[in-house]
Amino acid sequence: MDRVRLIFDSSSSRGRHGQRMLLLGGGGGGGSSPVFGGARSALAAAEGANKRRPFFTSPEELLEEEYYYDEQQPDKKRRLSPEQVRLLERSFEAENKLEPERKSELARKLGLQPRQVAVWFQNRRARWKTKQLEHDFDRLKSSYGSLLSDHDSLLKENDRLRSQVISLTEKLQSRTAASAGAAGIAGTKSDVQAAASVADPATLAVQTKAEDRLSAGSGGSAVVDGEAAKQLVDSSEVSYFPEGYHCMGPVDGGRVHSEEDDVSDEGCNYYSDGMFAAEHHHQDEVDAQLDWWVWS
The residue (of 66 and 191) whose beta carbon lies closer to DNA is 66
Query: Among 116-124, 135-143, 232-240, 280-288, which window interacts with DNA (CB under 7 A)?
Result: 116-124
Using rule CB under 7 A, residue 80 touches DNA:
yes
Dist. CA 29–CA 47, nearest whole Å: 20
Dist. CA 194–CA 15, nearest whole Å: 94
The residue (of 53 and 246) whose beta carbon lies closer to DNA is 53
User: How many residues of this chain interact with DNA, rule: CB under 7 A?
Assistant: 40
Positions 122 through 151 that interact with DNA (CB under 7 A):
122-123, 125-127, 129
Tell me how far, at minimum, the Cβ of 106 lies from DNA, in Å.
Answer: 12
Tell me how far, at minimum, the Cβ of 237 lies from DNA, in Å.
Answer: 19
Using rule CB under 7 A, residue 119 touches DNA:
yes
Tell me how far, at minimum, the Cβ of 104 lies from DNA, in Å.
Answer: 10
Dist. CA 60–CA 48, nearest whole Å: 23
Positions 10 through 49 that interact with DNA (CB under 7 A):
16-17, 21, 24-33
Tell me how far, at minimum, the Cβ of 275 lies from DNA, in Å.
Answer: 23
Using rule CB under 7 A, residue 55 touches DNA:
yes
Tell me how far, at minimum, the Cβ of 102 lies from DNA, in Å.
Answer: 10
Using rule CB under 7 A, residue 118 touches DNA:
yes
Tell me how far, at minimum, the Cβ of 6 lies from DNA, in Å.
Answer: 20
The residue (of 26 and 249) whose beta carbon lies closer to DNA is 26
Using rule CB under 7 A, residue 79 touches DNA:
yes
Angle at 61 between CA 84 and CA 29, to 5 degrees: 70
The residue (of 5 and 79) whose beta carbon lies closer to DNA is 79
Using rule CB under 7 A, residue 76 touches DNA:
yes
| Interacting residues with DNA (CB under 7 A) | 16-17, 21, 24-33, 50-55, 76-80, 85, 97-98, 100, 115-116, 118-123, 125-127, 129
